[in-house]
Amino acid sequence: MKTHVFRSWLVLVLIGFVGLPAFGTEPTNVRIEFVRPERFTDFRIQNRGEIQSSKIFSGEMIRYLAPVVARRFPGATLSLRFTDIDLAGRYEPWRGPQFNDIRFIRDDTGPLKLFFDYQLTDSKGKVLASGPKRIVDVDFQRRFMIYANTGLGASLAYEKLELRDWVNSLPRQTEKIASSK
């Protein structure tokens, strides 16, 4: 009988641990979607297809931007709907298979481009800001040179920094709304 009780208890504990990620996670304050990523200018991350690249991109951006949005707009949610992306750098397949997933950034690789529609809503769903946005940065490498050796230089560093700067440039309309009540 004791063995049966112990097994039942053990099973409940294991189920609890397995269920923690599903129940313990909070909804994110950043949402990302893509409109026909197969038609984007250059959207192959680590030389993967567009569908896999969209999963990588959204995961990286959500993890990076969530604290930025939370700090700047507490309680708000930012929704980004990408209509075109041209990632920083280019693949150089002629270098050999060991470089298949490395993007090289040169002066002639062209600008980084992020085209999207956005909507920033407060915790009650009221729209604080929205509209289309086109980020085209020819000088991204020089602007963000200081971050090259900070650990951010891994995946999508320039794209993360562009979006961070854009979020930080949005007016803090929540302060105006709070002070007018």
Domain membership flag for residue 41: yes
For 85-102, write each residue's pLDDT tens digit. Answer: 988 755 455 454 555 555
Residue 93 gets which letter from DSSP?
G
Q: What global pTM score does this model have? A: 0.72
Q: 167 is in which domain, residue-wise?
A: 26-180
Q: Report the distance separating Cα 149 and Cα 136, nearest Å.
A: 24
Domain membership flag for residue 99: yes
Question: Averaged over 53-60, what is the pLDDT?
Answer: 93
Counted domains in the chain: 1
Domain membership flag for residue 106: yes
pLDDT at 21 over 50: no
Domain membership flag for residue 12: no
Domain membership flag for residue 51: yes
b/e for 60-84, b at 16 or more Cβ within 10 A?
Answer: bbbebbeebbeebbeebbbbbebbb
Domain membership flag for residue 20: no
Domain membership flag for residue 108: yes
Domain membership flag for residue 3: no
